[in-house]
Amino acid sequence: MPELPEVETCRRALAPLLVGRTLTAAEAIWPRAAATPLEVAGRRIVRLDRRGKFLLLRLDRGWLVVHLRMTGRLVVAREPPARTTAAFRLDSGDWFCLVDMRKFGRAWQVARASEVVGHLGPEPLSRTFTAARFEAMLAPRRARLKPLLLNQRFLAGLGNIYVDESLHAARIHPLRTADSLSAGEVRRLHRRVRTILRAAITAGGTTIQNFAGPDGTPGRFRSQLRVFRRGGEPCYHCGTTIERSVVAQRGTHFCPRCQPL
């Protein structure tokens, strides 16, 4: 599933293709891909933003918001490719398309972006997400870290890959409770979340199965993963076998020696 770095990769690649263009039509080829009516004709694309795993197109009036969910991809093409679920015609004649094998991706047209993304927690790469703020967020919570960090209302943008990688890099077990972290552990986790997200953005995201940038390029961060999908293989740090367990219905990968419970 595309997480923050993959959506940011799409945002950066799409911005030069979309900003300044006017939308002339929209077509929900898979009707459920349109979470709201899409009446975009005549709207100009002013800017591309991202909030968590949502891509936000600022229009001259209102917003177009897209979430890729499991297998969504965004492309700009002369004709909508196979498996396109929603297509937006540009004044250049090209189509901006949500291409989605499993059809869970959604597009919303709203007056205010907050109507879709207002529930999200802080943006982990923002300047206001400081270690002190993270500590204040974690301290009152008794939840286990893995599900808490996946909770988009708590912190926006992380999914299974980057939660497992961040916890391993910070040497913190995924089943620790949030309120059990020392101030030093909070600072370590805060730093690791941010450095890993930045490195993944630099690498164009992680491709496990489907993800590709708008030009079809797979993400290159997979080669830098240290625990995710490495169950049964030796930890690069200590040589102990990486374990895989299921936490909150998600495959969870950790090193039992580097990340003691």
- The footprint of Zn ion (CB under 5 A) covers 235, 237-238, 240, 255, 257-258
The catalytic residue among 198, 229, 244, 250 is 250
CA distance 88 to 15: 15
Whose CB is nearest to Zn ion?
235
SS (H, E, C) 92-130: CCCEEEEEECCCCCEEEEECCCHHHHCCCCCCCCCCCCC
Burial of 213 per CB tally in 10 Å (0-12, 13-18, 19+)? buried
Coil/strand/helix, residue 89:
strand
In this complex, which beta carbon is closest to Zn ion, that of residue 67 or of residue 173? Answer: 173
CB 245, CB 167: distance < 8 Å: no
Task: Give me the least distance between CB of 197 and Zn ion, in Å please.
Answer: 22
CB under 8 Å to 185, separation ≥6 — which residues? 170, 172
Determine which one of 3, 6, 8, 165 is catalytic.
3
Instruction: Answer yes or no: 2 catalytic.
Output: yes
Q: Does residue 214 contact residue 116 with C-beta atoms inside 8 Å? A: no
Least spacing, CB of residue 169 vs Zn ion, in Å: 11
Residues 35, 54, 102, 25, CA torsion sign:
positive
Of 106 and 173, the one with the shorter C-beta distance to Zn ion is: 173
- 202 vs 245, beta carbon nearer Zn ion: 245
In the bound complex, what is the minimum distance in angstroms from residue 233's beta carbon to Zn ion? 11
Distance in Å, CB of 102 to Zn ion, minimum: 34
Q: What is the CA radius of gyration of the chain?
A: 19
User: Nearer Cβ to Zn ion, position 94 or 185?
Assistant: 185
Which C-beta is closer to Zn ion: that of 50 or that of 230? Answer: 230
Catalytic residue among 2, 80, 124, 214: 2
- Catalytic, 146? Answer no
Q: Minimum CB separation from Zn ion for residue 259, in Å?
A: 7
Among 125, 19, 7, 6, CA closest to 66: 7
> Would you call 123 a catalytic residue per the annotation?
no
Instruction: Please tell me which residue in 11, 21, 53, 89 is annotated as part of the active site.
Output: 53
- Residues with catalytic annotation? 2-3, 53, 250
